[in-house]
Amino acid sequence: MQNIDSITHVRGESIYLDDIPLQQETLFGAAFGSPIAHGKIIHLDISAAEKMAGVVRIFTYKDIPGDNQIGGIVPDEPLLAEDEVHFNGMPVAFVVAETNEIAQAAVKSITIDIEPLPVITDPREAKEKGKLIIPPRTFSLGNIDKAWKKCTHIFEGIAETNGQEHLYIETQGAYTIPQENDCIKVYSSTQGPTAVQRHMAAVLKIPMHRLEVDVTRLGGGFGGKEDQATAWAILCALATYHLKKPVKYCLHRMEDMRMTGKRNPYSSDFKIGLDKNLKIIAYEATFYQNAGAAADLSPAVLERTLFHCTNSYFVPNVKATAYCCKTNLPPNTAFRGFGGPQGMFVIEAAIAKAAEALGIDASEIQKKNLLKDGDEFPYGQKAESEAKNCWEEAEDIYEIKKLRKQVKKFNEENHLHKKGISFMPICFGISFTKTFMNQARALVHIYTDGSISVSTGAVEMGQGVNTKMAQVAATIFSLPLSKIKIHTTNTFRIANTSPSAASATADLNGKAVQMACINLMERLKPVAEKVLKQPCDKMRIEEGLVHIGNKKTELTWGNLIATAYMSRVNLSEHAHYAPPQVHFDPTIEKGHPFAYHVYGTAITVVTVDCLRGIYTFDAVKVVHDFGTTMNPVVDLGQIEGGIVQGMGWMTMEEIIYDKEGRLRSNALSTYKVPDIYSVPEEIKVHFLKTKKDNLAIFRSKAVGEPPLMYGIGAFFAVRNAIKAFHPSADVKFSAPITPEKVLMSLYPKKERSQTIKEAYHIL
Ligand code: LUZ
Ligand code: MOS
């Protein structure tokens, strides 16, 4: 089944925020951000901007009627700076003008006098100076101190991953429209309509029931709009509140890149201990998370780093500690994987380091230590593991022995091009790690003509969740999709929604849709019984007719609904779903936080041009645990997109802040994301079918985030290719492994001139 949005997407008819027809008298906003990363505001001068023709008003924190505060987890983030700025780009004032161009021009004529304070961009330095956003957290299992004594081999090192720009195609934005009686209608490109509504209510000091947040769809989110869509919507609403006029602000790409946070960079220390059979006996990791200037979602991201610190391996003795470090960068935030990939990279680096020292392939260690059923995670939950199944299936169907031979032969025959292979197993926990967030609601109406409308808390952001919601309703009613319409995500129809995040949206909202539809079907059965004068517990609908079991009747769906309506049967249902199985106690860091885990294995093959340092990926071949997929097309799209996005993070996407905390990679000319030329020549995805009864909707496992982590394999494949060229090359565990870094490690400084001479000689 195709995505229900395909046709309007292709025709350019799909509505995004910037496509909403403007109301008369709409004004346009633009934010003035701090020009420096840290300092005390001495004087803000808006007088020149205010005098510009077409400028309506400029707002500062003094215009805020309620709390100047938008921090979700920790109240440490003012909407508009008061007397200090904490990152370059931090909003200080909000210009509202008659046109977008005037608003942008007015921002440029605002000046500010700031007394600079020291700028910290490095998380380890922040930790040294005691700048932590929350106290450190530690997950542990077994007894690490005793375990070291049992190890035959112990290796230590450092692993670092950089941030990642979300680069949703649609930038952040909002459009707010005044309604009567101090109500505001809010269009926002947000993954979390309730987050927008809740913070807006507090900032404007008006009750939530006056704020209608409505979301048709987003042009991508990737976590960047879980928390960080809120500020722009509230800035517009603040102006609408004062001016009683519609106000719109869609960020320009460079504003968006400069002012919003990204994936959290991490710097980490690891220590790994193995016995003589290559079993990992002990693993210790210390994570320094670069949170940026405010908590945002970083404390929750940090938690997921700890949850995934052992990836898909069983390690009996673990100690993992994480520091949430405050720096003068824009607050970093959710990004597909939510700290999990950062944690997983570190143990993969530890394994690679051990393998290198022992002169073996990392896959020997990886395979020996895969999770088995019943193995305990450091947080107490027991694994129901598909790790070995995925790995062995991948070895088998992708003919790993043959592949290794081909690579070996290629490397023997070629001197300036080398191939590298890596295995990347993944294990990702499905559920919000904050247990209370695991809840969702759905509202289903059957209209008197038999057509059905469905509303949920799920936000469509290109991931295909609306298609899945429509499938759920169509399946329960056994009606064609044409009878089902999925409506916008709206806080007046569905209240108190969790953001669409954590890969859990289809599960949570889908189960709520399922419950609502089942309840409606149950209510219709007695109606059918009255008409048909026979028991109808086996009722289903086929080709518009009521069937009882396999027997067709004369009763049409339309007549059934009309009869139900005339008999005054309620044709609407609101359902609430919350998986009861999940729980977690942060005081002991133990529990059962995840409904289930998703597993998989990726084999990546790369060819490195050892003269230039550039590389191309031959193939990424995956065996992925989908459960029983309810939509192979949508799910395959998620896997392919996730792989490429993860590879981009690991290889070419390089965020650079200078020492002053200024973003230098601030446009698409300086920040490179994968394009059609840099994707692998071949991506193969094998659907491992698993039938385990789990909490996935229709047993179709969550698929949003897990595949991103296959991209980590790209780093290690490139690293292995470098090693094939120069076995003693010192390749740092520092992602992204850009072509520049590859070139430098191919030719270590001391031997550089000699190796280059040799290379030219071969040429
Ligand atoms: N967002 C969140 C997430 O608030 N909590 C989570 O556990 C999570 N996990 C993945 C992605 N987003
Ligand atoms: Mo997300 S990182 O699931 O918003």
pLDDT in tens, 451-463: 999 999 999 999 9
Assess whether 250 and 302 both reside in one domain: no
Which residue's alpha carbon is nearest to atom 8 within ligand 1? 502
> Which distant-in-sequence residues (6+ apart) come within 8 Å of 565 by Cβ?
448, 571
Specify whether 240 is located in the same domain as 298.
no
The closest of 704, 636, 644, 650 to 674, measured between CA atoms, is: 644
How many CA atoms are closer than 13 Å to the CA of 130, on its beta-carbon side?
Answer: 0
User: Which sign, positive or negative, has the C-alpha torsion 482, 488, 492, 495?
Assistant: positive
157 occurs within a structural domain: no
Residue 708 has pLDDT above 80, yes or no: yes
The model's pLDDT over 554-605, given as tens digits with 9 standing for 90+, comes to 999 999 999 999 999 999 999 999 999 999 999 999 999 999 999 999 999 9
126 is a domain residue: no
Q: Counting atoms of ligand 1 from 1, which one is nearest the CA of 498?
A: 4
- Residue nearest atom 3 in ligand 1 by C-alpha distance: 502
Counting from 1 in the atom list of ligand 2, the atom nearest the Cα of 221 is 4
| pLDDT confidence of residue 758 | 73
Mean pLDDT of 331-337: 98
Residue after which a domain boundary falls, among 534, 554, 577: 577
Task: Judge if 331 and 391 occupy the same domain.
Answer: yes
Distance of CA 332 to the CA centre of its chain: 13
Q: What is the spatial distance between Cα 733 and Cα 722, in angstroms, rounded to a whole number? A: 13
462 CA → ligand 2 middle, Å: 13
Residue type, 471: Q
How much is the pLDDT for 197?
98
Owning domain of residue 185: 6-118+166-259
Task: Give the tens place of pLDDT for each residue, 269-324.
Answer: 999 999 999 999 999 999 999 999 999 999 999 999 999 999 999 999 999 999 99
| Cα-based distances in Å from 454 to 105, 264, 483 | 43, 36, 11
Which of ligand 2's atoms lies nearest the C-alpha of 335? 2
Ligand nearest to the CA of 308: 1
Q: What is the CATH number of the domain that holds 214?
A: 3.90.1170.50
Residue 583 is assigned to a structural domain of this protein:
no
Burial class of residue 225, CB neighbours in 10 A (0-12, 13-18, 19+): buried
Is a pLDDT exceeding 80 seen at residue 749? no
Instruction: Give the integer Cα–Cα distance in Å for 392 and 395.
Output: 5
- Assigned domain for 324 exists: yes
Q: Is a pLDDT exceeding 80 seen at residue 761?
A: no
Structural domains counted in the chain: 3
Q: Average pLDDT for residues 83-88, to the nearest whole number?
A: 98
Are 304 and 593 in contact by the 8 Å Cβ rule? The answer is no
- Are 594 and 690 in the same domain? yes
Ligand 1 center–CA 500 separation, angstroms: 9
The answer to whether residues 201 and 208 touch, using CB atoms and an 8 Å cutoff, is yes
- 338 and 471, same domain (yes or no): no
Q: What is the mean pLDDT of residues 150-162?
A: 98
Distance 529 CA to ligand 2 centre (A): 46
Q: Are residues 414 and 455 part of one domain?
A: no
pLDDT at 534 over 70: yes
Per-residue pLDDT at 755 exceeds 80: no
Pocket of ligand 2 (CB under 6 A): 191, 223, 226, 334-336, 338, 501-502, 705
Distance 603 CA to ligand 2 centre (A): 25
Nearest protein Cα to ligand 2, atom 3: 501
**Looking at ligand 2, which residue's alpha carbon is closest to its atom 4?**
223
Separation of CA 258 and ligand 1 centre (Å): 23
Q: Tell which of 577, 608, 630 closes a domain.
A: 577
Rounded to two decimals, the pTM is 0.97
Query: Residues with beta carbon inside 6 Å of ligand 1?
Result: 223, 226, 297, 300, 304, 334, 338, 432-434, 501-502, 705
713: its two tokens: 């394999």
> What span, in angstroms and rounded, lies between the C-alpha atoms of 441 and 44?
46
Q: Sorting pLDDT into bands at 50, 70 and 90, what band is 690?
A: confident
Q: How far is the CA of 513 from the centre of ligand 1 (A)?
A: 22
Residue 646: inside a domain, yes or no?
Answer: yes
Q: Name the strand (E) or helix (H) holding 472.
A: helix 465-477
Q: Tell me whether residue 366 is in a domain.
A: yes
> If pLDDT is split at 50, 70 and 90, which confidence band does 90 have?
very high
319 and 254 assigned to the same domain:
no
What is the best residue among 296, 338, 463, 497 to mutate for testing ligand 1's pocket, by most ligand atoms within 8 Å of CB? Answer: 338
The domain boundary, picked from 227, 259, 291, lies at 259
Q: Is residue 103 in some structural domain?
A: yes
- Can you give the three-state secondary structure of 178-199, one letter per residue? ECCCCCEEEEECCCCHHHHHHH
Residue 203 tokens read as 């900032």
Q: Which residues are catalytic?
A: 705
pLDDT grade for 638, boundaries at 50, 70 and 90: very high
Which ligand lies nearest the alpha carbon of 304? 1
End-to-end CA distance of the chain: 52
Average pLDDT rounded to a whole number, residues 201-213: 98
DSSP 316-378: SEEEEEEEEEE-SSSPPB--TTTTHHHHHHHHHHHHHHHHHHHTS-HHHHHHHTB--TTPBPT
Give the C-alpha separation, 617 to 604, whole Å: 8
Between CA 208 and CA 117 the distance in angstroms is 38
- C-alpha 571, offset from chain centre: 36
Q: What is the pLDDT of residue 689?
A: 81
Flag whether 129 is in a domain: no
Residue 763: predicted pLDDT: 65
Under 8 Å between Cβ of 549 and 538 = yes
Residue nearest to atom 12 of ligand 1 (CA): 502
Report whether pLDDT(403) > 80. yes
Give the model's pLDDT for residue 719: 98
165-203 tens-digit pLDDT: 999 999 999 999 999 999 999 999 999 999 999 999 999
In the block, tokens 């709206």 appear at: 490
Compute the distance between CA of residue 326 and CA of residue 612 in angstroms, rounded to an integer.
38
480 and 369 in a common domain: no
Task: Flag whether pLDDT at 694 surpasses 90.
Answer: no
Residue 36 pLDDT greater than 80, yes or no: yes
What is the DSSP track for 89-128? T-EEEEEEESSHHHHHHHHHT-EEEEEE------HHHHHH
Please check the confidence at residue 1 and state whether its pLDDT lies above 80: no
CB contact at 8 A, 85 and 92: yes
Residue in 227, 186, 228 with CA at minimum distance from that of residue 204: 186
Token reading at 652? 């070419």
pLDDT-derived band at 265, boundaries 50, 70, 90:
very high
pLDDT at 206: 97
What is the chain's alpha carbon radius of gyration, rounded to the nearest angstrom?
27
CB 743 within 8 A of CB 756: no
Whether 344 and 443 map to the same domain: the answer is no
Q: What is the mean pLDDT of residues 45-50?
A: 98
Strands (DSSP E) along 536-595, which ranges?
539-542, 545-548, 551-556, 572-577, 583-585, 590-592
Supply the DSSP string of 662-716, one letter for each residue. -BSS-STTTS----TTTS-SEEEEEEEE-----SSGGGB---SSGGGGGGHHHHH
CATH of the domain at 357: 3.30.365.10
Do 603 and 740 reside in the same domain of the chain?
A: yes
Q: Are residues 560 and 650 in the same domain?
A: no
Q: What ligand 1 atom has the least distance to the C-alpha of 304?
A: 7
Residues 653 and 540 in one domain: no
Nearest-atom index, ligand 2, CA of 336: 2
pLDDT-derived band at 494, boundaries 50, 70, 90? very high
Average per-residue pLDDT in the chain? 97
Beta bridge partners of 423: 603
At residue 369 the predicted structure's pLDDT band, cuts being 50, 70 and 90, is very high
